[in-house]
Amino acid sequence: MKWDISKMDSWTYKQFPPGAVIPESGNSDDYVTGGWRSERPWRDDEKCTQCLLCWIVCPDTSINVAGEKVTTFDLDHCKGCGICAQVCPVDAIEMVPEGCDLPGVK
């Protein structure tokens, strides 16, 4: 559908079309939202000191932790932003091209 917005400057709130309604919060968990990622994070377990900084800053809650240790990345939801790699104090995370066949890349 396309709207005729040529006279939008004179619209009142009544002319603006209604926006989408999201009835439940947190529903991205039900969908694969990382499908357009071009790079994925890869963590070197040898270098990682388990400081958990990457887990704190990940905007998509895509760093899995168990027993207070980073385990894997949730690649269904990771957007490949690279923030985790930027903040890691020991450079244990590297962003690698999507589809890369490195050992340990899941």
Q: Which residues bind ligand SF4 (CB under 6 A)?
A: 41, 43, 48-54, 58, 60, 62-63, 70, 73, 78-84, 88, 90, 92-93
Q: What single-letter DSSP state applies at residue 22?
A: -
Nearest approach, Cβ of residue 56 and ligand SF4 (Å): 9
Nearest approach, Cβ of residue 49 and ligand SF4 (Å): 4
Please give the torsion angle defined by the CA atoms of residues 72, 73, 76 and 81, in that order, rounded to the nearest 10 degrees.
Answer: -170
Nearest approach, Cβ of residue 28 and ligand SF4 (Å): 12
- The answer to whether 54 and 89 are in contact (CB under 8 A) is no
**Which residue has tokens 């309604």?**
21
